[in-house]
Amino acid sequence: MTITCFIRYQIDPFQKEQFRRYAENWGRIIPRCGGDLLGYFLPHEGTNDEAWGLIAFDSLAAYEAYRARLRTDEEARANFAMAQEQRFILREQRTFTEVVDNTLRPGGWRDRGHI
């Protein structure tokens, strides 16, 4: 079973670019530490203080192993420290989800010629 860690962030809307940098850093770190990064998403229109991160894992055990690797990864530790120092993340919530069979398209919307 594949699970997805759905992270909802409440961010300081005046520090959106700092959060963008934080998310871009995870683009390198997460795959190296064993997560399948589906993407980070910033507010574009409407609510201006909510961002999301989605990371898939084979199991909760794989997620726990990933978390252990994050704790020893220098770049991950520096990214966490930057977020704490700059305080652009006001709140963070994690929810673990599973995909409903036959609802996830391979390649997602990219396969439909949107980009």
Per the DSSP assignment, residues forming a β-bridge with 108 are: none
75-109: burial string, b at 16+ Cβ within 10 Å, e else: ebeebbeebeeeebbeeeeeeeeeeeeeeeeeeee
* SS3 state of residue 43: coil
Indicate the pTM of the whole model: 0.85
Question: Residue 71 sits in a domain of what CATH number?
Answer: 3.30.70.100
Question: pLDDT averaged over consecutive 10-residue blocks of the chain (115 residues)?
Answer: 92 97 98 96 93 95 96 98 97 93 66 48
Domain of residue 98 covers: 3-112
